[in-house]
Amino acid sequence: MATIVQRDRAKGKISFIVYYRDPEGNQKTKSFTSKNSTTKEINKANRYAEKFANTIEAQKELGILEVEKNITFKTYSENFMQIHLHNLRQNTRKTYTNYLGYINKIYGYRKIGDITASELDKFFLTLKNERKLKMSSIKLYRDVFNLVFKSAKNKRIIKNNPMLELDFKFTEKDKKKVKKTVDHETLKIILKSFDAIYYVFLILLGIMTGLRRGELCALKWSKNIDFENRVITVTNSIDEKGNLGPTKTTSSMRTIYMFDNLLFLLQYIKRFQQICIEKLGNTYKNDDFVLCKYDGSFLNINTVSKTMYEKSQTYGVHFTMHMLRHTFATMLKTANIKDVQALLGHANAEITVNTYQEYQQLENSTIEMLNNSIDPTIFLK
C-alpha cells in the first residue's frame, strides 16, 4: 500500500513523500514539494501526492504498475541493437551502429525513461537546421530511436514511447516530386549508351524481376537459376567487396517464376558468357555469377550506382537502379497484390499488402502481364 509522509523543508516549504513498492518488491519514493510556504501551495502539493498514491494503488489493483528502471539509454540501446541487428545485412548493421553511436554521444548517459519528446524535437530540429542533414538521414535517426524506445516500452522499462509524442514533422515542404519509375524512352537512352553489354543485362534483369541491386549482382547460376523448373531463387545480397551475405529481410528470400521473356534473357546471358569463357580460357574468373564482367569478375554495386549516375548526368535523364524496382511494381499495378508482394520480396502488408505467396500461386493474368511488360529482344539487337 502506498503511504504518504510529510517532511518540513527550508523556508517553510513542505514535502509529501509517497512510499510504495514496485511489482518486483523494490521500495520506491516520489516526492511532491510545495513551491513556497503558503497554505495554497502546501495543499496543492498534498493533493498531487494523494493523486499519485491513488494512481499507484489503482495500477497495482489492475496489475499494470510499471517496473521502474535506472538503466541508461546507452546500455539498453547497445544491448537491444546487438540482438536486433543480428539477422540484418552488414551494410544495414553498419548504418544503424553508426547512427546509434552519434545518438549515444548525446543521450547515452541519460536514464532511458527520462528522455522526453520535447528534447527529441530539438534534437531533430538541430539535425535539420544546424547540421543541414537530408530528411532521409534524419529519418534514419528517427528509426533508430523508435526501435529502442518501442522495445523498452514493450519490456515495461518505460511507460511511454516519446517518439509517439513528437511535434517535429519528418517531411520536406515544397520538395519537388522525383520520378521513381523509368519510362520506355529513358530506358532506351540508357541501354543504348552502354558499350559493355553486361550493364544491359543488369538493367534488363532488374526491370524484369524487380530485384534489388545487391540481389541481382549476387545471383549465381548453380545456386539460384533453375532452367528446368523455370525459377529464380533469391537467397543472397552482395556487398561492395564481393562478399555474399543475407538479403535485406527474411521475406526477401523468395522464388521468382521464370516467365517466357525472362527465360529468354537468362538463356541469352548464359550463351554470351559461354562465348567469353571459350575466348578467355583459363584467364576467365569462373565464379559462377549470372551478372559479371567479360572476364567473369563480379559487378561492384558501388561502381554500378556510380556508373548509372554518370550516365544520367551525361544524357540529362533521371535514372537509378532502384527505379527499375519501382517500374517493375508499377507495371504490375493491376495484378494480384499478393503476387506483387511475393515477386518484390516485401515483408508485410504495409508495403504491398498481406502475406507471402509462392511463385506457383501466381495468377495466369500476372504471368501474362510479366510477359508483356518488357521484350528483351528489342534491346539486344
Q: Do domains 73-165 and 184-378 have the same CATH topology?
A: no
Please tell me the predicted confidence (pLDDT) of residue 14.
Answer: 93
Q: Is 197:272 a contact under the CB 8 Å cutoff? A: yes
Domain chopping of the chain, boundaries: 3-62, 73-165, 184-378
Class of domain 73-165: mainly alpha
Please tell me the predicted confidence (pLDDT) of residue 99.
Answer: 94
Please tell me the predicted confidence (pLDDT) of residue 198.
Answer: 94
What confidence tens digit (pLDDT) does each residue in 62-81 have?
Answer: 555 555 567 899 988 988 88
Q: Kindly report the pTM of this predicted structure.
A: 0.56
CATH number for the domain whose boundaries are 184-378: 1.10.443.10
Q: What residue has cell string 509524442?
A: 165
Q: Is the pLDDT of residue 349 over 60?
A: no
What confidence tens digit (pLDDT) does each residue in 9-21 have?
Answer: 888 999 999 888 7
Q: Is the pLDDT of residue 100 over 60?
A: yes
88-126 in b/e form (b: 16+ CB < 10 A) is bbeebbebbeebbeebbeebbeebbbebebeebeebbee
Please tell me the predicted confidence (pLDDT) of residue 73.
Answer: 93
Q: How many CA atoms lie within 13 A of 202 on its CB side?
A: 29
Taking residues 217-243, report their average pLDDT: 90
Q: How confident is the model at residue 167 (pLDDT cuts 50, 70, 90)?
A: very high
Specify the higher pLDDT residue, 1 or 377.
377
